[in-house]
């Protein structure tokens, strides 16, 4: 019996060419163009292979399809197609989530070889570790984020002139991470009351400590870098079906905090003048 492939791609040209090529090479191919149809097929039909574009309509949608396949049909081979070689680092970090990835335009012999190799070397799938949302990872790694941020801030030449204790410098980070995690869970980081209050308090405090707006921004840039690094280190533990939306909420929340920090800083500076 022919091995069944679920092929997911939103580009009509690729669906019309690659699907028939796979069929001519002995596979039974079901081709769909969006995530909703892919999830329907995964829940109602059995497949040996998933071949999915990375970006189906929205960036990273392919992760949603892969995650669903891993849960519903864990023995199926999973492959990601991507036109973005810059993303190799992130894809390498989730190699235990996909069997392989290939760059577009797809080299058909390489694709066929990869599929055949995976199908002839079937092995028991090791159960995935419990996957987690970005919000949960923020809570679990909060202490590490704070320590790394404090270390990196201390190394920043522009910030070395401030004689602040580590507690004084970083007292806002844990509450900020807590509020970010909460608003990510709620999908409501834009115009979050908690983040606005946090930002206002932080802006006033930094104005009193003699900072400039530029340095407030520098500290936030360092925090964004540290959070990104910590999350990337934990990428294989993330729920791929929510990671894109969660990261967008995270970015919105950090921006919200920074915006209100600057506004409060400016207000405090005017009042002190």
HEC string of 70-137?
HHHCCCCEEEEEECCHHHHHHHHHCCCCCCEEEECCCCHHHHHHHHHHHHHCCCCCCCCCCCECHHHH
pLDDT of 63 above 60:
yes
pLDDT at 236: 61
CA of residue 93 relative to chain centroid, distance: 12
Q: Are 196 and 256 in contact (CB under 8 A)?
A: yes
d(CA 14, CA 20): 10
pLDDT, tens digit, 9 for 90 and up, residues 196-236:
999 999 999 999 999 999 999 999 999 999 999 888 777 66
Higher-pLDDT residue of 170, 107: 170
Of the candidates 70, 91, 69, the residue with the CA atom closest to the CA atom of residue 82? 91
pLDDT of 260 above 80:
yes
Q: Are 151 and 233 in contact (CB under 8 A)?
A: no
Residue spans of alpha helices (H) in 121-189: 134-155, 166-170, 173-186
For residues 38-50, one letter each, b for 16 or more C-beta atoms within 10 angstroms of the residue's C-beta and e for the rest, the string is bbebbeeeebbbb
pLDDT at 127: 54
CA of residue 76 relative to chain centroid, distance: 24
Higher-pLDDT residue of 210, 88: 210
pLDDT of 86 above 80:
no
Range in 51-55, 94-98, 252-256 the model is least confident about: 94-98
pLDDT of 93 above 60:
no
pLDDT of 114 above 60:
yes
| Mean pLDDT (the chain, rounded) | 88
Instruction: Provide the residue count of the chain.
Output: 273
Higher-pLDDT residue of 126, 240: 240
Other C-beta atoms closer than 10 Å to the C-beta of 79 total 22
Residue-range domains of the chain with CATH: 4-120 (3.40.50.2300), 134-272 (1.10.490)
pLDDT at 89: 46
**Residue 243 confidence class, pLDDT cut points 50, 70, 90:** confident
pLDDT of 78 above 80:
yes
pLDDT of 31 above 80:
yes
pLDDT, tens digit, 9 for 90 and up, residues 133-160:
999 999 999 999 999 999 999 999 999 8
pLDDT at 203: 97
pLDDT at 85: 57
Identity of the highest mean pLDDT range in 12-16, 216-220, 235-239: 216-220
Average pLDDT over residues 25-41: 93
Higher-pLDDT residue of 44, 59: 44
Q: Are 265 and 213 in contact (CB under 8 A)?
A: yes
pLDDT at 33: 94
**Residue 257 confidence class, pLDDT cut points 50, 70, 90:** very high
pLDDT at 25: 93
d(CA 146, CA 152): 10
């Amino acid at each position: 019996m022919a091995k069944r492939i679920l092929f997911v791609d939103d580009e009509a040209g690729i669906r019309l060419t690659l699907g028939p090529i796979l069929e001519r090479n002995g596979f039974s191919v079901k081709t769909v163009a969006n995530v909703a149809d892919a999830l329907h097929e995964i829940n109602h039909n059995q497949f040996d292979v998933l071949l999915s574009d990375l970006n189906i309509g929205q960036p990273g949608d392919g992760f949603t399809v892969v995650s669903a396949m891993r849960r519903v049909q864990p023995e199926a081979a999973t492959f990601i197609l991507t036109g973005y070689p810059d993303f190799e680092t992130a894809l390498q970090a989730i190699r235990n989530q996909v069997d392989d990835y290939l760059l577009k335009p797809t080299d058909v012999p390489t694709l066929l070889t990869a599929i055949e190799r995976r199908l002839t070397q079937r092995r028991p799938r090791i159960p995935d570790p419990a996957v987690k949302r970005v919000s949960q990872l923020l809570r679990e790694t909060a202490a590490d984020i704070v320590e790394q941020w404090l270390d990196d801030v201390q190394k920043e030449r522009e910030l070395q002139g401030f004689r602040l204790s580590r507690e004084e410098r970083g007292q806002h980070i844990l509450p900020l991470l807590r509020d970010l995690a909460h608003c990510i869970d709620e999908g409501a980081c834009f115009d979050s009351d908690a983040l606005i209050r946090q930002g206002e308090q932080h802006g006033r405090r930094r104005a009193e400590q003699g900072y400039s707006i530029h340095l407030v921004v520098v500290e936030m840039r360092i925090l964004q870098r540290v959070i990104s690094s910590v999350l990337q280190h934990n990428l294989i533990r993330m729920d791929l079906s929510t990671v894109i939306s969660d990261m967008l909420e995270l970015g919105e929340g950090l921006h919200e905090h920074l915006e209100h920090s600057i506004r409060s800083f400016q207000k405090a500076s005017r009042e002190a003048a």
